[in-house]
Amino acid sequence: MSHHDVLVVGAGVAGLTAAVRLAQSGARVRVLAKGVGATHLGGGTIDVLGYAPERVDRPGEALAAFAAAHPAHPYARVGAQRVEAALEWFKAVVAGSPLAPYAYTGSLDENHLLPTAIGVPKPSALVPITMAGGDLRTVTEVLAVGFRGLKEYHPALLADGLRRTMPSVTARAIELHLPVEGRAEFNALALARAFDQRDFRRTVIAELTSQVHFGEVVAFPAALGIAAPHEVWSDLEQGLGRPVFEVPTLPPSVPGMRVFAIMREALRRAGGRVLLNNVVVGADHEGSRVRALRVRVGLREERHSADWVVLTHNKALLAALAPHAAKREADEKPSVLWTDAHSSLFEILRHPPPARTAASH
């Protein structure tokens, strides 16, 4: 049976964030997860406060009123300053990753306003720099580029949606017919792998050069590379001589997969590991404390012990595993913390992990 300072259950943004922060502060950490989380489904932006309930332009300013109206919300519990600090931490993790100079941009000062795949504006605090050029607060002319065969991505729908929702924007669509993995139909990940190839980028630029109008910004599906997104994006901007931006697609989310890869690598560098296909099915207790988790790996059952457990996936399982965790505030030595995507970014700051001294390693 392995032993760690902390077992984190779940490999979504919550679990990975908690794990990286804990490992960076000196704890020996392992992440156990059934599979990947919503990173692979979502748009890849970090949305802090987009609606409250009207659209929010300045989330930093709106947070105070929001927290006052929702005192139990994690934002109210940790405060705007720690939210800001967490965003800066996330940006630093991305900027220090092997995908750099790929980076995230933004803050609580202002929400970006980026189009979804159907051309609806959506407010986000932090966005990949490969998306930032699509900010509808400044963009006036959009050329939406699609690829015949890319599942569930229709540039005409994007352009039409933009014209309807943003009267100040003119938009038109174009679809390229290029082979991707030799298939008639392909998803965003396959397209991203194609974009990682320089020859494919050259072909795209050659096809588009004569068709891009002066003044247009060029919208691509968010599939501009999985291994080298910054290089792909820069090549397209230089080759086309126009600003280029990514628009989130339906799953799989390539920007979300980049986040997963970045966080997993940050954890590896800090000495931790992610184990996928590890389904937590129960726990061994000693008094009120969880001493070990029972984990199903294929047909086998394994046990992992730890001083602390961070659950990120499911409150029902928390109740089953650790009925005493609900009394956490009163418990001087909790063994289980529950966290979700919001609080994991922020709450770990409030409840410092059991940092180990050098002597105890």
Ligand X SMILES: Cc1cc2nc3c(=O)[nH]c(=O)nc-3n(C[C@H](O)[C@H](O)[C@H](O)COP(=O)(O)OP(=O)(O)OC[C@H]3O[C@@H](n4cnc5c(N)ncnc54)[C@H](O)[C@@H]3O)c2cc1C
Q: Does 14 bind ligand X (CB under 6 A)?
A: yes
Site size for ligand X (CB under 6 A): 28
Omega of the bond leading into 53 within 30 degrees of 0 (cis): yes
Q: Does 42 bind ligand X (CB under 6 A)?
A: yes
Closest distance to ligand X from the beta carbon of 132 (Å): 14
* Candidate residues 15, 123, 155, 225; the one interacting with ligand X per rule CB under 6 A: 15
Tell me the window of 96-104, 131-139, 161-169, 313-321 that interacts with ligand X (CB under 6 A): 313-321
Q: Does 35 bind ligand X (CB under 6 A)?
A: yes
Q: Does 33 bind ligand X (CB under 6 A)?
A: yes
| Cβ atoms within 10 Å, residue 35 | 12
Q: Does 336 bind ligand X (CB under 6 A)?
A: no
Element (H, E) at 30: strand 29-36
Q: Does 73 bind ligand X (CB under 6 A)?
A: no
* Candidate residues 26, 43, 119, 353; the one interacting with ligand X per rule CB under 6 A: 43
Q: Does 9 bind ligand X (CB under 6 A)?
A: yes
Closest distance to ligand X from the beta carbon of 223 (Å): 16
Element (H, E) at 291: strand 289-297
DSSP secondary structure letters along 336-358? EEE--HHHHHHHHHHS---PPPG
Rounded to the nearest 10°, the torsion over CA 220, 226, 227, 232 is: 0
Closest distance to ligand X from the beta carbon of 182 (Å): 29
Q: Does 23 bind ligand X (CB under 6 A)?
A: no
Alpha helix locations (H) across 47-154? 59-69, 74-78, 80-95, 129-132
Q: What would the two tokens of residue 328 be?
A: 């956490």
Query: Between the CA of residue 268 and those of 21, 114, 275, what are the distances in Å?
Result: 12, 32, 12
Nearest to 104 by CA among 88, 119, 81: 88
Q: Does 225 bind ligand X (CB under 6 A)?
A: no
* Candidate residues 149, 313, 335, 343; the one interacting with ligand X per rule CB under 6 A: 313
Residue 315 DSSP SS3: helix
Nearest to 154 by CA among 179, 131, 175: 175
Q: Does 65 bind ligand X (CB under 6 A)?
A: no
Q: Does 91 bind ligand X (CB under 6 A)?
A: no
Residue nearest to ligand X (CB): 12
Q: What would the two tokens of residue 18 be?
A: 């908690």
**How far apart (Å, rounded) are the C-alpha atoms in residues 113 and 340?**
25
- In the shown chain, the binding pattern of residues 258 to 297 toward ligand X, with x for contact by CB under 6 A and - for none, equals ---------------------xx-----------------
Q: Does 353 bind ligand X (CB under 6 A)?
A: no
Q: Does 254 bind ligand X (CB under 6 A)?
A: no
Query: Between the CA of residue 100 and those of 46, 83, 131, what are the distances in Å?
Result: 18, 23, 15
Q: Does 249 bind ligand X (CB under 6 A)?
A: no
Tell me the window of 21-29, 78-86, 215-223, 309-317 that interacts with ligand X (CB under 6 A): 309-317
The site for ligand X (CB under 6 A) is made up of 9-15, 32-38, 41-43, 45-47, 279-280, 312-314, 317, 340-341
